[in-house]
Amino acid sequence: DRMKQAVSRTRESLEDRIETVLSMTRTVDDAALEELEMSLIASDIGVNVTTEILDALRERAKRQQIRDGEELRSLLKEQLKAILDEQARPPRTVANPPEVILMVGVNGTGKTTTSGKMAAHFRAQNKSVLLCAADTFRAAAIEQLEVWSQRSGVEMIRSKQGGDPSAVLFDALQAATARKKDYLIVDTAGRLHTKAGLMDELDKMRRITQRFIPDAPHEVLLVLDATTGQNGLQQARLFTESAGVTGIVLTKLDGTAKGGIAVAIARELKLPVRYIGVGEKIDDLLPFDSEAFVESLLG
């Protein structure tokens, strides 16, 4: 299936290594577990999560509860899935449409692309969508979103470049309400003159949204580039601390063998992964499914 294909590079590397580990030793001994530890760290699952998983596996191995490679594989799957599921939350029920989704994150992670893909995703479910081009800082962002709006057959609210993002957001909130849209997707700036400036801007946008629709924004999705691995995680903390992030979109999983970063994100940021980006095309966005993801990761 699509997730399997997309995550196949990760899968090859992680699975191959685990296969090697398992074929090297008939029994699950210390050396085998150490190899596994290295493989997990190499896949960007992170040192903390890896240590936690290995501690549990070593404990079981000591009590001779892991008889062979297959058992080790299924225990590992169970643990990875548990970490991902710990953060799973049912989508919020929206009292009055539109459901407002703010897309945040640094430039180049795929915010604009993901906004466009999401618009198409909701359209395919027969929902009405309005796009808001609130990244008025990056010159090409508005034009780029315009292309996506045409591709997905979704209307877009824009202002000229350099305009006030709060003003365009206000217009979009008004239009989405008046036109009774199911969703309003807001593409925000990933860079301003200063980090503090950017966080203030995002905070202001959240307050405007809230004043307009009391239980909104319903989602603040932080877009992270999977190829930046543990560095991206560092950068993500800044946003989660000040932008009220409710979930993650992990992009460019098609371009990395380090899909383990999804597990690190769930644990370290304590946030659910909502969608994954697996390419540059309009249907290259998949709702996240922990079972399928772990299955893709470990075979």
Q: Assess contact for 130 and 181: CB atoms under 8 A.
A: yes
Stretch in the footprint of ligand GDP (CB under 6 A) among 30-38, 122-130, 239-247, 277-285: 277-285
Q: Is 99 in the site for ligand GDP (CB under 6 A)?
A: no
Residue 274 is given by DSSP the state E
Q: Which two tokens stand for residue 171?
A: 């217009």
- Does 110 contact ligand GDP by CB under 6 A? yes
Q: Which of 73, 111, 267, 274 binds ligand GDP (CB under 6 A)?
A: 111
Among 79, 113, 149, 256, binds ligand GDP (CB under 6 A): 113
Chain centroid to CA 299: how far? Answer: 22
Asked if residue 252 binds ligand GDP (CB under 6 A), the reply is yes
Q: Is 235 in the site for ligand GDP (CB under 6 A)?
A: no
Sheet holding 285-287, edge to edge: 155-157, 129-134, 183-188, 99-104, 219-225, 247-251, 273-277, 285-287
Query: In which residue are the tokens 């307050």 written?
Result: 207
Kindly give the interhelix angle for 47-62 and 261-269, rounded to the nearest 10 degrees.
100
- 163 touching ligand GDP, by CB under 6 A: no
Looking at the Cβ atoms of 28 and 134, the one nearer to ligand GDP is 134
Size (the chain), residues = 299
Query: Measured from the CB atom, is 109 or 136 closer to ligand GDP?
Result: 109
CA–CA distances in Å: residue 103 to residues 12, 106, 223: 31, 10, 7
Told to check if 136 binds ligand GDP by CB under 6 A, we report no
CA–CA gap between residue 170 and residue 268 (Å, rounded):
34
- Asked if 280 is part of the footprint of ligand GDP (rule: CB under 6 A), the reply reads yes
Considering the complex, what minimum distance in angstroms separates the CB of residue 293 from ligand GDP?
A: 15
Question: No. of H helices and E strands in the chain?
Answer: 12, 8
Contact with ligand GDP (CB under 6 A): which of 39, 109, 149, 159? Answer: 109
Q: Which of 107, 166, 177, 210 binds ligand GDP (CB under 6 A)?
A: 107
For ligand GDP, the binding residues in 189-228 under the rule CB under 6 A are 190, 223
Write out the binding residues for ligand GDP, residues 176-195 only, by CB under 6 A.
190
Binding-site ranges for ligand GDP (CB under 6 A): 105, 107-113, 141, 144, 190, 223, 251-252, 254-255, 277-280, 284
